[in-house]
Amino acid sequence: MYRTRNLVAGLLPLLPGAAPERLAVWLVKGYVQNSSARAPLAALSIRKYSAAPPPPTQAAAEPFLNGSSSVYVEEMYNSWLQDPKSVHASWDSFFRNASAGAGPGQAYQAPPSLAVPGKYEIPVTALVPQFTSSGVSTGLPIDEKIIDDHLAVQAIIRSYQIRGHFGAFLDPIQIEGPKDLNERLKQETHLEEKDMDRVFKLPATTYIGKPDERALPLREILSRLEAAYCRHIGVEFMFINSLEQCNWIRKRFETPGVMSLDAEGKRLLLARVTRAAGFEAFLARKWTSEKRFGLEGCEMLIPAMKTIIDKSSELGVESIIMGMPHRGRLNVLANVCRKPLEQIFAQFAGLEAADDGSGDVKYHLGTYIERLNRVTNKNIRLAVVANPSHLEAVDTIVQGKTRAEQFYKGDSEGKKTMSILLHGDAAFSGQGIVYETFTLSDLPDYTTRGTIHVVANNQIGFTTDPRHSRSSPYCTDVARVVNAPIFHVNADDPEAVMHVCKVAAEWRATFHKDVVVDLVSYRRGGHNEIDEPMFTQPLMYSKIRKMKSVTEKYSAKLIEEGTVTKEEVDDVRNKYEKICEEAYVKAQKETQIRYKDWLDSPWSGFFEGKNQLKMGNTGVIEETLKHIGKRFSSTPPNAAEFVVHKGIERILRARMEMVEARTVDWALGEAMAFGSLLKEGIHVRLSGQDVERGTFSHRHHVLHHQTSDKSTYKPLCNLYPDQAPYTVCNSSLSEFGVLGFELGYSMTNPNALVCWEAQFGDFFNTAQCIIDQFIASGQSKWVRQSGLVLLLPHGMEGMGPEHSSARPERFLHACSEDPETFPPETEEFAIRQLHDTNMIVANCSTPANYFHLLRRQIAMPFRKPLIIFTPKSLLRHPDAKSSFDDMVETTEFKRAIPETGVAANDPGSVRKVIFCSGKVYYELKKAREERGLDNTVAITRIEQICPFPFDLIRDEINKYPNAELKWVQEEHKNMGAWSFVQPRFETAMQKSSERRLSCQPNTSWWRRQWAQLTGRPSPTDVVVTHPSASVSDCGRPVSYVGRGVSASPATGSKRQHLKEAAQLLADAFAGL
């Protein structure tokens, strides 16, 4: 609601004294219903860009000669008779015309002013005859005609401001015929041709008048409006709910001469566009059919970005983080970032990589460059974030990275760091993440204080034209949701492009809000260099092929107007070509490519001097646990008036009791992990839907004063005076957007614990692209690490098909660990596994282990994404508690928790070993006790599923030689960890057999036995040499216990759920 109130408040100045209701009526009556434009507007498809004819006018008589104003006129007339120069020019003209016998209405020039007259200046007294010049009402009737005429002029000015963009000449290829906007505007007023020379007062909401012009003839008004709104720039801004911002924009587009560029500016512009074109031409010549997603047709993207960067640098920005798709990416790296050309050219050579990983195609790679901005003479850091093919997916990652940089720099207003997002037209209107990015743009913990969006709008997406790829008139309409101004510009007019880019940079620096530059252009070739566009867009392409490039057109224009000579033009082109040739020669000498050269987030100092196989401690001293526990269990100190909810008081009391008893539950364990890191100077950020309280109301990291609005207390922000900052923030309801954001945030600084929590684990699937394209494969593709933590509530608790499973199988499937390789057994076994994996997947069963796991993210000398399946019912389970003893200095994370009960004391008697992970452990433990099987069944928990604790599992298998082995999971058989752990058990067992036996030939008998028992072919690499060995020595099969296969992750019936849960336990202990 408060946003609605702001909106109305922002509009009120338009109509002083208007109550909101009246305002609404006025808006509707004056500008919507009275307008005949509504229906025609809908028909005005913006996919047809064209010029518009001027609107018509109407005549008026001299109504200001009526009533009391005639006294005033008489005075004017007498003065004029004495000296024609003593009156305003319009009176002069009027009296001249009248004396010459002009008829009624024809003598009218313009109502004059009583004040010191400027050119075209009129007093309102002359327009509204019931007022005298002293402003006193005479009680005589208002002349409605003159008021109507002025209102009509105001309406027409407003129409241009609102809809002028529909009439702008934006499309360089003019696919469709001309638009008739001005005809429509004409029909909306009663003014006619004979009104064209009448002078009208300019309202305060226009800047078309020069400083001394407060009134203009209608003809001039229309001509200036057309110049501002209907040439090569289409400005969409009148939906913005702030009069100040609207006026700011009007001033920058309406002011006469505002767009003029000096000769130096023009020459720089020409040089920039020449280089942009030269780069594409060079690549085309050297690698004719190599994919590069050329920029031809939208070369102005390069000068546009450079202008934004120059202007922003001038306004104080020191660091710019960019995200962009394939189109023109190499050109941006070369000409905007000035990445060494030889590094770019070497990418075409198909060289081997010097570093590990899969690498990525050249038009996805990122970069980071620090250099001097030659225009401003200031240093600037430019980063282009690496991205996958998935269009727009990088958007919120850029935002998160930007936000983090602002945070660490203390740049709370975004004055030093900013982001630029580049988009394709089809992707901008089509991909949902764009909307999600915009909705984050003004949220307190997610804003980057304004992003400049630039759309390389070539009016096509692959082979599909806009009529089939979007339902909105413009590809940029999505930006309207956040009141971002949108500047459409014909990209064949370089100076117009410059202008909008400067304004966009100024807008961002002034209001710290998003803005969009829509570069309306074309694509000279196919989607890529090997595509034939004539297959699908024959007419468009027959036009394009006849068109001259923007460089040709602009250089011809500058030569013609005398700004440059032909020689200068040739010189710029030849010089750049020479630079390219030299770099080409250098590139030929390269023998390897280095992915590290393409890193977008270098963590300087983080890796240097660190032993990559040495882990820091994760246990902490008891004093710290106590201190954090107590602070976390307390209301604000010294604030007795802070009223806490009774329920929260109970929770805090229970926490305090736990601390006194040296135990922790899940929330307390987590708080101690966060708190101890904060104490060590590590910034912690927890973001996601409702994370402040916690979906399951267990966390309560923000206490709310019950009688004072917006008064809150965050215990974890108040642990130590010199602690690192803690951020906990409820996010917008977007998994794709927010997970991407947090990933970006984690990329800026490795010394921060950044966590994203899903409301329920399965909701991560709407962010699957971030997981597959960035989290799972980011390091391999782009040598980029991230220690991001995903917290995914998981567990079969009868809540139905959704809300049950966080789909562990999906993550495990994306893990890069080889199931058939038992890593070398050295002292660094565990850390080497972590070093070599692409991500860590864990399901902890105790708060202490969760505590260590979180802390280990920072203790590791490198960074890996961590996926944790977190509990729901375990949050309050009386057994799911840990003692301080498991968290103090000497303790660490347990990759597996072996049986420690009575079964472990007499392993030879154990008949069954159950392996499991997560909360099912507590159910199995209880069922074992109920069945009196504590002696005969051992239960081992696998806490870290990937990397798989091969060594610990092998030891457990060895420990119980007479036991059958079971994997028990509560998820369905085609889900959960089963298919991941199964081959790893085999690998662990092979190792176990090798160790225990030197036995048994690898005979066909043995292989048959194996196949019979397991239903699978025998592992061929087992070397079994002892003649009397049995198949169980060589590997006991681990069999599956759990729900059968299913299409849905869980039943929707509570009854069925309970039945399945009981069956699962029965199966787990069957045969004993």
Closest to ligand TPP by CB, 3 or 468: 468
Closest to ligand TPP by CB, 164 or 325: 325
Q: In whole angstroms, what is the distance from residue 530 CA to residue 293 CA? A: 10
Is the Cβ–Cβ distance between 406 and 441 less than 8 Å? no
Closest to ligand TPP by CB, 395 or 425: 425
H-helix or E-strand containing 664? strand 663-664
Closest to ligand TPP by CB, 391 or 420: 391
Candidates 44-52, 264-272, 417-425, 660-668; binding stretch for Mg ion (CB under 5 A): 417-425
Closest to Mg ion by CB, 117 or 526: 526
Residue 90: closest CA among 62, 122, 68, 67: 122
Residue 424 Cβ, how far from Mg ion at the closest point, in Å?
4
Residue 394 Cβ, how far from ligand TPP at the closest point, in Å?
11
What are the φ/ψ torsions at residue 951 (nearest 5 degrees)? Answer: -65, -45
Residue 341 Cβ, how far from ligand TPP at the closest point, in Å?
23
Residue 460 Cβ, how far from ligand TPP at the closest point, in Å?
5
Instruction: Output the residue with the shortest Cβ distance to ligand TPP.
Output: 424
Tell whether residue 424 is a contact of Mg ion (CB under 5 A): yes
Mask of contacts with ligand TPP, 1007-1046, x by CB under 6 A? ----------------------------------------
Residue type, 109: Q
Per CB under 5 A, contacts with Mg ion among 673-692 are none
Tell whether residue 425 is a contact of Mg ion (CB under 5 A): yes
How many chain residues interact with ligand TPP (CB under 6 A)? 14
Closest to ligand TPP by CB, 424 or 1019: 424
Closest to Mg ion by CB, 458 or 676: 458
Tell whether residue 331 is a contact of ligand TPP (CB under 6 A): no
Q: In whole angstroms, what is the distance from residue 726 CA to residue 698 CA? A: 18
Residue 488 Cβ, how far from Mg ion at the closest point, in Å?
15
Candidates 228-236, 410-418, 457-465, 873-881; binding stretch for ligand TPP (CB under 6 A): 457-465
Candidates 190-198, 284-292, 450-458, 821-829; binding stretch for Mg ion (CB under 5 A): 450-458
* Residue that has been written with the tokens 């392993």 in this structure: 907
Candidates 38-46, 101-109, 190-198, 455-463; binding stretch for Mg ion (CB under 5 A): 455-463
Instruction: Name the pairing type of β-strands 964-972 and 912-916.
Output: parallel
Torsion of CA 763, 765, 770, 772, to 10 degrees: 140
Classify residue 836 by burial, with Cβ atoms within 10 Å: 0-12, 13-18, 19+.
middle
Candidates 184-192, 301-309, 418-426, 808-816; binding stretch for ligand TPP (CB under 6 A): 418-426
Tell whether residue 425 is a contact of ligand TPP (CB under 6 A): yes
Rg over alpha carbons for the chain, rounded to the nearest Å, is: 36
Q: In whole angstroms, what is the distance from residue 834 CA to residue 818 CA? A: 13
Residue 519 Cβ, how far from ligand TPP at the closest point, in Å?
11
Q: In whole angstroms, what is the distance from residue 339 CA to residue 349 CA? A: 17
State whether the Cα torsion 195-200-203-204 is positive or negative.
Answer: positive
The correct pick among 196, 322, 330, 456 for binding ligand TPP (CB under 6 A) is 456
From ligand TPP, Mg ion, none, interface partner of 327 (C-beta below 5 to 8 A by class): ligand TPP
Is the Cβ–Cβ distance between 427 and 392 less than 8 Å? yes
H-helix or E-strand containing 713? strand 712-713
H-helix or E-strand containing 799? none
Closest to Mg ion by CB, 295 or 875: 295
Closest to ligand TPP by CB, 426 or 999: 426
The correct pick among 50, 437, 458, 633 for binding Mg ion (CB under 5 A) is 458
Q: In whole angstroms, what is the distance from residue 514 CA to residue 455 CA? A: 13
* Residue that has been written with the tokens 């057999």 in this structure: 993
From ligand TPP, Mg ion, none, interface partner of 450 (C-beta below 5 to 8 A by class): none
Helix (H, G, I), strand (E, B) or coil at 68: coil
Chain centre distance of CA 787 = 19
The correct pick among 26, 408, 462, 607 for binding ligand TPP (CB under 6 A) is 462
Is the Cβ–Cβ distance between 388 and 774 less than 8 Å? yes
Tell whether residue 427 is a contact of ligand TPP (CB under 6 A): yes
Tell whether residue 391 is a contact of ligand TPP (CB under 6 A): yes
From Mg ion, ligand TPP, none, interface partner of 779 (C-beta below 5 to 8 A by class): none
Instruction: Name the pairing type of β-strands 703-704 and 683-688.
Output: unpaired
Residue 743: closest CA among 693, 679, 685, 691: 685
Tell whether residue 458 is a contact of ligand TPP (CB under 6 A): yes
Tokens of 655: 């926490």
Tokens of 806: 């966080």
Candidates 74-82, 419-427, 849-857, 1063-1071; binding stretch for ligand TPP (CB under 6 A): 419-427
Per CB under 6 A, contacts with ligand TPP among 521-560 are 527
The correct pick among 389, 617, 905, 998 for binding ligand TPP (CB under 6 A) is 389
Is the Cβ–Cβ distance between 80 and 86 less than 8 Å? yes
Tokens of 301: 């993207």
Q: In whole angstroms, what is the distance from residue 64 CA to residue 67 CA? A: 8
From Mg ion, ligand TPP, none, interface partner of 427 (C-beta below 5 to 8 A by class): ligand TPP
H-helix or E-strand containing 1039? strand 1038-1043
From Mg ion, ligand TPP, none, interface partner of 401 (C-beta below 5 to 8 A by class): none
Closest to Mg ion by CB, 441 or 458: 458
Mask of contacts with Mg ion, 169-188, x by CB under 5 A? --------------------
Within 10 angstroms of residue 507's Cβ, the number of other Cβ atoms is 24
Mask of contacts with ligand TPP, 270-309, x by CB under 6 A? ----------------------------------------
Classify residue 280 by burial, with Cβ atoms within 10 Å: 0-12, 13-18, 19+.
buried
Residue 459 Cβ, how far from Mg ion at the closest point, in Å?
7
Is the Cβ–Cβ distance between 423 and 486 less than 8 Å? no
Is the Cβ–Cβ distance between 348 and 362 less than 8 Å? yes
Tokens of 894: 């347990």
Closest to Mg ion by CB, 526 or 1019: 526
Is the Cβ–Cβ distance between 1044 and 1063 less than 8 Å? no
From ligand TPP, Mg ion, none, interface partner of 462 (C-beta below 5 to 8 A by class): ligand TPP
Tell whether residue 379 is a contact of ligand TPP (CB under 6 A): no
Residue 763 per-residue DSSP state: G
Tell whether residue 171 is a contact of ligand TPP (CB under 6 A): no
The correct pick among 119, 210, 219, 390 for binding ligand TPP (CB under 6 A) is 390
Residue 461 Cβ, how far from ligand TPP at the closest point, in Å?
3
The correct pick among 55, 129, 450, 461 for binding ligand TPP (CB under 6 A) is 461
Is the Cβ–Cβ distance between 761 and 801 less than 8 Å? no
User: For residue 17, is it left (φ>0), alpha (ψ between -120 and 50) or beta?
Assistant: left
Q: Which residues bind ligand TPP (CB under 6 A)?
A: 327, 389-391, 424-427, 456, 458, 460-462, 527
Q: Which residues bind Mg ion (CB under 5 A)?
A: 424-426, 458, 460-461
